[in-house]
């Protein structure tokens, strides 16, 4: 659906329900309709859905940016900590995209034959993320281990850094700590809060009141960090 100059993927579901519900997911908008709604009523609700997206949702930068094209072009740069990285693009005769890190914080991406930067946005994001993860995984692992030794002293099988838009981190039942490369754009104290959050799952594998008591014990102002992520998290990404 084309809304306010943006192409917004839309999913419409017909369900056994009496109400109509519109919502916005990470990568698409959702309209839920009653199963036996008439054709005319359905068209009316789709029209209302369009104006809801246009006037109530996409008028806000936080939501618009989800559907805007990435700001990728040759020479695109972004900053992490005290370093500025520059991304250069070149065509390749290979069938697959690839990326490599060079000295002076240069990331060189080779696009598969016949591909354009716009067509390859998602792949480019993941390639940049992969290079950045390799660059910072040692530092992040050391911070996780340091915080774990300070507060938890639990066994950790691995620390992983990869691109993820659905969450900032996770802790598996196998004691693996996973963090999103998007988190690297957040302030250090916010990053440390997320690390404490995931390490707390080594004690309580849920989000019960007991879990939040553990988090608050080590990060008393954790709600401020949650607020920061809710307000600014959409800016923590590559290609912004």
The CATH number of whichever domain residue 149 belongs to comes to 3.30.2010.10
Looking at the fold, whether 169 and 114 belong to one and the same domain comes out as: yes
Q: What percent of the chain has pLDDT over 90?
A: 82
Digit-coded pLDDT (tens) for 134-162 = 999 999 999 999 999 999 999 999 999 99
Give SS3 for 101: strand
Residues of the domain holding 22: 2-64
For residue 59, the model assigns a pLDDT of: 84
In the beta sheet, which residues pair with residue 152? none
Digit-coded pLDDT (tens) for 171-204 = 999 999 999 999 999 999 999 999 999 999 999 9
Is 232 exposed, middle or buried, given 0-12, 13-18 or 19+ CB atoms closer than 10 A? Answer: middle
Predicted confidence (pLDDT) at residue 2 exceeds the cutoff of 90: no
In the beta sheet, which residues pair with residue 24? 29
- State how far the alpha carbon of 101 is from the alpha carbons of 80, 104, 107, 168, in Å: 15, 9, 5, 24
Inter-residue contact 215 to 196 (CB < 8 Å): yes
Q: Final residue of a domain: which of 42, 64, 86?
A: 64
Inter-residue contact 168 to 185 (CB < 8 Å): no
State pTM to two decimals.
0.85
Q: Final residue of a domain: which of 35, 64, 93?
A: 64
Digit-coded pLDDT (tens) for 41-65 = 999 999 999 999 988 888 888 888 8
């Amino acid at each position: 659906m084309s809304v306010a100059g943006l192409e917004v993927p839309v999913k419409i579901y017909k369900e056994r329900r009496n109400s109509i519900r519109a919502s916005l997911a990470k990568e698409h908008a959702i309209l839920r309709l009653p199963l036996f709604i008439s054709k005319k009523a359905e068209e009316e609700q789709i029209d209302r859905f369009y104006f809801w997206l246009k006037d109530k949702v996409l008028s806000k930068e936080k939501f618009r940016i989800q559907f805007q094209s990435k700001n990728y072009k040759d020479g695109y740069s972004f900053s992490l900590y005290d370093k500025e990285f520059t991304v250069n693009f070149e065509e390749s005769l290979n069938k697959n995209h690839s990326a490599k890190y060079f000295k002076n914080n240069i990331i060189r991406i080779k696009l598969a034959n016949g591909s354009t930067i716009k067509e390859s946005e998602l792949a480019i994001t993941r390639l940049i993320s992969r290079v950045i993860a390799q660059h910072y995984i040692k530092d992040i692992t050391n911070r996780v281990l340091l915080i774990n030794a300070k507060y938890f002293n639990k066994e950790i099988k691995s620390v992983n850094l990869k691109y993820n838009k659905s969450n900032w981190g996770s802790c598996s039942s196998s004691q693996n700590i996973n963090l999103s490369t998007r988190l690297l754009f957040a302030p250090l104290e916010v990053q440390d809060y997320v690390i404490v959050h995931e390490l707390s799952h080594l004690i309580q594998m849920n989000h019960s009141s007991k879990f939040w008591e553990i988090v608050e014990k080590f990060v008393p102002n954790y709600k401020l960090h949650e607020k920061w992520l809710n307000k600014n998290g959409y800016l923590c990404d590559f290609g912004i």
